A = this chain, B = another copy of it.
Amino acid sequence: MKKLINDPDDVVEEMLDGMVQTYPDRLRRLEDTQVVVRADGTPDGKVGIATGGGSGHEPTHAGYIGDGMLDGAAAGDVFSSPTADEFEALLDACDAGEGVLAVIKNYEGDVMNFETAIDLVEMEGVDVETVVVDDDVAVEDSLYTSGRRGVCGTILVHKAVGAKAAEGASLAEVQRVGQKVVDNVGTMGVALTSCVTPEKGEPTFDLGEDEIELGIGIHGEPGVENADMMAADDITDELTEAVLDDLDVEAGQEVLTIVNGMGGTPQMELFVVNRRLQELLGDRGIETYDAWVGDYMTSLDMEGCSITVCVVDDELTELFDAPADTPALSVQ
Contacts and interface: CB of A to CB of B under 8 A. Distances in A.
Contacts of A58: 266-268, 271
Given A3-B192, A14-B232, A63-B267, 20 more contacts: A2-B209, A4-B235, A6-B231, A6-B232, A6-B233, A6-B272, A11-B268, A11-B272, A15-B268, A15-B272, A58-B267, A58-B268, A263-B267, A264-B265, A264-B301, A265-B301, A267-B298, A295-B295, A325-B332, A332-B332
18 contacts: A3-B192, A4-B235, A4-B273, A5-B232, A11-B268, A15-B272, A18-B270, A19-B271, A21-B291, A22-B274, A22-B292, A55-B268, A56-B266, A58-B268, A263-B267, A266-B298, A266-B300, A267-B295
A2 B303 contact: yes
Contacts of A192: 2-4
A237 to B, nearest CB: 12
A264 B304 CA distance: 11
A30 to B, nearest CB: 17
Nearest to A24: B291
Nearest to A288: B21
Nearest to A271: B18
Nearest to A329: B330
